[in-house]
């Protein structure tokens, strides 16, 4: 199994999950923005030139949440929630919340504060993105009241939306009124599998 990977990217989620389930893997490393990510060799693997991409035998899959669902279904059903479980809908909600709600403002904020050269950055758009990010985190903060993980026990949802919450905090989102999310992010960052993914 091979993971096309770059540090400080969504690829950390995939490696984190592989570490959680004890599945061996090989890393093909990039740095974000590296020209080889847009080159013809990698385009044969992922035409979008993004990470992560997982190659498992004849299977190639490149969306981080889809990768998590695939790995959970094939290798770690204990980290998923079945259709008949009472928390199935909650699990689906929070599995997809990270990409659907948290990551869009993160993406805009990172573009405006990190990726664009200073002369092209838009401070108003960056501030608006951060404001929207804080709003999306408010819903997660309310949900985490009295909970240790997003959908009962630790699941693949925590590697997706939990990772988005961790990245939000690192990027400077306002966690001053988010004690539940602060404690949740601390718990996730303390996991041995997360530390191994960060060290990759």
Rounded Cα–Cα distance for residues 38 and 49 (Å): 5
Domain at 88-191, CATH from 1.20.120.450, 3.20.20.70, 3.40.50.620, 1.20.1050.10: 1.20.1050.10
The DSSP string of 83-128 is TTSTTHHHHHHHHHHIIIIIHHHHHHHHIIIIIS-GGG--HHHHHH
**Chain segment 62-120, per-residue pLDDT in tens:** 999 999 999 999 999 999 999 999 999 999 999 999 999 999 999 999 999 988 999 99
Locate 153 and state its tokens: 């026990």
Mean pLDDT by 10 residues, the chain (200 residues): 95 98 96 90 95 97 97 97 97 97 96 92 96 96 98 97 97 96 98 96
Which residues are CB-contacts of 88 (< 8 A; sequence separation ≥ 6)? 81, 82
Neighbouring C-beta atoms of residue 118, cutoff 10 Å: 6
Which residues of the chain form CATH 3.40.30.10?
Answer: 2-79
Fold of 2-79: Glutaredoxin (3.40.30)
Which residues of the chain form CATH 1.20.1050.10?
Answer: 88-191
The answer to whether the beta carbons of residues 107 and 90 sit under 8 Å apart is: no
Per-residue model confidence (pLDDT) at position 1: 96
The pTM of the full predicted model, rounded to 2 decimals, is: 0.95
Locate 167 and state its tokens: 């990245």
Q: In Å, what is the CA distance from 3 to each residue of 6, 24, 26, 52, 106?
A: 10, 10, 6, 7, 23
Rounded Cα–Cα distance for residues 18 and 194 (Å): 10
Locate 21 and state its tokens: 């389930």
Rounded Cα–Cα distance for residues 190 and 106 (Å): 23
């Amino acid at each position: 199994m091979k993971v096309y990977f770059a540090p400080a990217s969504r690829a950390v989620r995939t490696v984190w999950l592989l570490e959680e389930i004890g599945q061996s893997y090989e890393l093909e490393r990039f740095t974000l923005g590296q020209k080889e990510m847009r080159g013809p060799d990698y385009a044969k693997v992922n035409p979008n030139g993004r990470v992560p991409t997982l190659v498992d035998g004849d299977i190639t899959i490149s969306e981080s949440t889809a990768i998590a669902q695939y790995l959970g279904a094939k290798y770690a059903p204990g980290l998923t929630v079945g259709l008949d479980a009472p928390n199935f809908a909650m699990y689906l909600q929070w599995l997809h919340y990270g990409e659907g709600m948290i990551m869009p403002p993160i993406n805009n904020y990172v573009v405006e504060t990190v990726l664009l050269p200073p002369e092209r950055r838009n401070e108003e758009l960056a501030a608006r993105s951060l404001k929207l990010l804080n709003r999306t985190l408010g819903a997660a903060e309310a949900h985490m009241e009295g909970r240790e993980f997003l959908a009962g026990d630790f699941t693949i949802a925590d590697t997706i939306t939990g990772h988005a919450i961790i990245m939000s905090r690192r990027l400077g989102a306002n966690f001053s009124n988010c004690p539940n999310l602060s404690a949740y992010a601390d718990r996730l960052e303390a996991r041995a599998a997360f530390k191994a993914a960060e060290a990759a």
